Structure 1
Amino acid sequence: MNRNLLTEEVQQFIKANREKSPTEIALKKSPFPSVSSAELAAQIDGWQRSVRKLPTWAFSDSIYYPDKLNLEQCSSEHTALIKQTLIDNGTRVIDLTGGFSVDSCYLAQEAAEVIHCELNAKLSEIVAYNAKILRVNNLHCVVTDGIKYLQESEDNAFDYIYVDPSRRVNQGKVFLLEDCEPNIVANQQLFFKKASVIISKLAPLLDISTALSSLSHVKYVYVVSLDNDCKELLFIQERDFIGEPIIKAIRLFHDQLQDFEFTYSEERGTISRFSLPQKYLYDPDVAISKAGAFKIVGKYFGLGKLHQHAHLYTADKFNPDFPGRIFEVMEVIPYGLFKKNNPYPQANVATRNFPDKVELIRKKHKIKDGGQVYLFFTSDLDNNYIAIACRRLR
């Protein structure tokens, strides 16, 4: 950590040039003898990456940004706010895999104390410095391995353990929960000796059912999406919990939040009602799809499903509470007729349970991207391929 970057004249330079290309700054000679042009470029790059993802950091003076990888891997403020709701006020938390501390800082707003464990001494120093700038005074940074720190702590030393295991081990990407570091499956017994609740942030590509078979006492699973992009899975384990976990799909969009909860036994026990396309078409958010609410979401909102495998829903009534996009159907065209005469030279194209991919459909039918029309290529309840032309309402 080069503290010369924090002098007033350097900070003024960074602020004056923060809209410029970091590459352009890196190629120019630095105007400061104690700060390299690469360091200036890294701070400007960090600010640009943080504007939308971490606005509190970006618009606080004198923030020190870490390496690009640390910013890419950290949570956004939107998703960190979700984690803040998972803990009780005045509790003690340990973050075993601290990183750039976005989650730790938000947990600290609710907790009495958060211990931030980070093996990278430089990153830990940056986090401790930024915490003072952000006035997060109850965040305590320790340069250590989180598992080792936990082993050396007294039993029941914490109320919550927060862990975000790395999916990159020895410079390679791993896909099994047991291969991540730390191995939260192997350390469950240790975790429950030191805290009553474990909150694990896991990769969105992870299979939820597989994780549930590996982790014990799971009370909740949160599937969190931001602007229809699944960002993370949160598994909440409680030491004494016995029962079926509740699955919560959390949709964050345009500074709004929608949630939908269910259990897998409820999903299995639901029978879908199928329907031909009606006045409105409902396309569920990725959080709903990832959570596996394929049948129960239709039943809950009184919708018919177009096809067992299409995961598109329809109704004659408009329901603004549906967690996803809503369209007004303009016309339904059998795909055989669409192939002969495409009336939409420009449209936003999507497929659901359809043999051709979007790019091939565009090429085949000479459809330019964009515009006000949305075309869904899918299957109906009689297994016929159809094209649904519609306009988006929400």
Structure 2
Amino acid sequence: MEFQQLLQSDIQSFITRNLGSDSATLALKKNPFPDVNYASIINQITSKKKAKDKLPTWFFTANIVYPEKISIEQTSSETTAKYKASLVHGEKLIDCSGGFGIDAYYFSKQFKSVFHCELNPELSAIVKHNFSTLNCTNITCYLGDSAEIINQLNQKYDCIYIDPSRRNEAKGKVFLLSDCIPNVIELQNYYFQYTDTLLIKTAPMLDLHAGLLELKNVAEIHIVAVDNEVKEILWKIEKNSTKTPTVTAVNIEKSKTTTTIIDLDQTYNASYCQPKKYLYEPNASIMKSGGFEAISNLFKLEKLHQHSHLYTSNELINFPGRSFIVDNIVPYQKNKIKQYIEKKKLNISTRNFPLKPDEIKKKHKISDGGNVFAFFTTALENEKIVLLCTKI
């Protein structure tokens, strides 16, 4: 196959030497390897550059072959793959939407045998080569439709993993699992003939309530953020589960991982008050969870307003998000804004406020930056306020 030509030592050296080069500029130069498709070589450089931070194990391993850059962009990062692999273990797992194989690689550390299914012949061959290069011997690659492969193999699995892909991007922001391949809604009962546990990965845009309406027997939902950006939602489904699922909001950073567990079966009642000494802004995974009342209960904090999703206290706590000292509370009134806000250098955030940050900056001639964080929000009595804060 063509990708095997890319493994020639002089081509691999050329790829490594040009990782710092601009791919578009490089593409305009003469092909130093006339017998090999130059576009394929350029693609290796482009894709490998994208893999450096996202897939360091692959990047720093010699003789790895990369697919088109879109596959690198769409694949799980090593960080998220490690997390999802920690949720399941056992003898056998089948990955129904194998892709570049990052998830399968980390599942292979939790299972004795992993089966990687992929519809694209070239990608399947590349992944098989890479697993061999990585000395990963307990993964078997299958080419074809995963549902048919499951039927042909006809065996039980401790877990079936699916990362459904969108069928129709033209639907814009509307995201339904029934619009994806494989259609896990239609196939869920079929999968349960071969396993008692499903693990489904979905994109962050999927609404949790919509997912719960579409899927049956959901036992756990994991919202996975990396550096405060939600990357994926994981749905762990147990064949006989009848319980209300728990929601785990995870934020993974280099120095620490923060985990907040919200029990959807429990009733949480928030308490409210005016801003106190400290202000707290939940991380992105908690915001996605919608567990705003729970946060008030779990961390013994008070909310500023039902819809503002900012929390406050007089004593500093260890909070899963950003923490601030409230230096000043400014009513959103013309004379006060002119005195404290207008033409200042501020870091603007809004929560439950009629104007967006860019509109606020333009209206009040505010420039970005500095050490002051300004939260434009709505307080307990529906009054508009600005909290001028110092980040802790």
TM-score (norm 1): 0.95
Q: Which aligned pairs between 1:182-193 and structure 2 lie closer than 5 A?
A: 182-193=182-193
Runs of 4+ in structure 1 off by over 3 angstroms are 168-174
Three-state SS of the structure 1 residue aligned to 2:259 is strand
Q: Which aligned pairs between 1:347-362 and structure 2 lie closer than 5 A?
A: 347-362=346-361
Alignment partner of 1:162 is 2:147: no
Q: Identify which range, 305-314 or 364-373, moves more after superposition.
A: 364-373
Three-state SS of the structure 2 residue aligned to 1:259 is strand
Residue in structure 2 matched with residue 236 of structure 1 by the alignment: 236
* Residues 338 and 387, structure 1, Cα contact 8 Å, conserved in 2: no
Q: Report how far residue 34 of structure 1 moved.
A: 2.3
Alignment partner of 1:224 is 2:224: yes
**Cα deviation 1:120-145 (Å, max 9, x = unaligned):** 00000110111111111111111110
AA paired with 1:271?
Answer: N
Alignment partner of 1:326 is 2:323: yes
Q: Which aligned pairs between 1:41-120 and structure 2 lie closer than 5 A?
A: 41-88=42-89, 90-120=90-120
Three-state SS of the structure 2 residue aligned to 1:61 is coil
Cα distance in 2, alignment partners of residues 20 and 305 from structure 1: 50
Cα distance in 2, alignment partners of residues 254 and 330 from structure 1: 30
Alignment partner of 1:17 is 2:18: yes
Residue in structure 1 matched with residue 372 of structure 2 by the alignment: 373
* Residues 109 and 136, structure 1, Cα contact 8 Å, conserved in 2: no
Residue in structure 1 matched with residue 212 of structure 2 by the alignment: 212
* Residues 345 and 367, structure 1, Cα contact 8 Å, conserved in 2: yes
Q: Report how far residue 326 of structure 1 moved.
A: 0.9
**Cα deviation 1:329-362 (Å, max 9, x = unaligned):** 1111111044332446211111000000110001
Q: Report how far residue 170 of structure 1 moved.
A: 8.1
Unpaired runs of at least 5, structure 2 = none
Cα distance in 2, alignment partners of residues 160 and 300 from structure 1: 32
Cα distance in 1, alignment partners of residues 322 and 18 from structure 2: 39
Residue in structure 2 matched with residue 121 of structure 1 by the alignment: 121
Cα distance in 1, alignment partners of residues 380 and 279 from structure 2: 14
Cα distance in 2, alignment partners of residues 22 and 182 from structure 1: 34
Residue in structure 2 matched with residue 273 of structure 1 by the alignment: 271
Cα distance in 1, alignment partners of residues 203 and 192 from structure 2: 22
Q: Report how far residue 66 of structure 1 moved.
A: 0.5
**Cα deviation 1:3-47 (Å, max 9, x = unaligned):** 221111111111111011111111111211223332222111111
AA paired with 1:162?
Answer: Y
Three-state SS of the structure 1 residue aligned to 2:184 is coil
Q: Report how far residue 241 of structure 1 moved.
A: 1.7
Cα distance in 2, alignment partners of residues 38 and 338 from structure 1: 60
Provide closer, same or farther for how the CA distance between residues 296 and 171 of structure 1 changes in structure 2, counting only shifts above 3 A.
closer
Root-mean-square deviation (CA), in Å? 1.6
Cα distance in 1, alignment partners of residues 272 and 354 from structure 2: 21
Q: Which aligned pairs between 1:244-393 and structure 2 lie closer than 5 A?
A: 244-266=244-266, 269-320=267-318, 322-336=319-333, 337-343=335-341, 345-393=344-392
Cα distance in 2, alignment partners of residues 63 and 346 from structure 1: 47
Cα distance in 1, alignment partners of residues 45 and 350 from structure 2: 40
* Residues 330 and 391, structure 1, Cα contact 8 Å, conserved in 2: yes
Cα distance in 1, alignment partners of residues 57 and 217 from structure 2: 35
Q: Report how far residue 372 of structure 1 moved.
A: 1.6
**Cα deviation 1:175-210 (Å, max 9, x = unaligned):** 221121111011111111011100000121111112
Residue in structure 2 matched with residue 8 of structure 1 by the alignment: 9
Cα distance in 1, alignment partners of residues 170 and 364 from structure 2: 43
AA paired with 2:265?
Answer: S
Three-state SS of the structure 2 residue aligned to 1:241 is coil
Q: Report how far residue 153 of structure 1 moved.
A: 3.2
AA paired with 1:41?
Answer: I
* Residues 224 and 231, structure 1, Cα contact 8 Å, conserved in 2: yes
Count residues in correspondence.
388
Three-state SS of the structure 1 residue aligned to 2:153 is coil
* Residues 28 and 37, structure 1, Cα contact 8 Å, conserved in 2: no
Three-state SS of the structure 1 residue aligned to 2:265 is helix
* Residues 330 and 337, structure 2, Cα contact 8 Å, conserved in 1: no
* Residues 342 and 365, structure 1, Cα contact 8 Å, conserved in 2: no
* Residues 3 and 65, structure 2, Cα contact 8 Å, conserved in 1: no
AA paired with 2:300?
Answer: G
Cα distance in 2, alignment partners of residues 355 and 48 from structure 1: 41
Unpaired runs of at least 5, structure 1 = none
Q: Which aligned pairs between 1:131-170 and structure 2 lie closer than 5 A?
A: 131-154=131-154, 156-169=155-168
Cα distance in 1, alignment partners of residues 36 and 324 from structure 2: 54
**Cα deviation 1:293-334 (Å, max 9, x = unaligned):** 1011121111110110000001111112x1111111111111
Three-state SS of the structure 2 residue aligned to 1:152 is helix
Name the % identity.
Answer: 38
AA paired with 1:361?
Answer: I
Cα distance in 2, alignment partners of residues 115 and 172 from structure 1: 32
Cα distance in 2, alignment partners of residues 349 and 226 from structure 1: 22
Residue in structure 2 matched with residue 35 of structure 1 by the alignment: 36
Cα distance in 2, alignment partners of residues 242 and 153 from structure 1: 29
Cα distance in 2, alignment partners of residues 317 and 170 from structure 1: 47
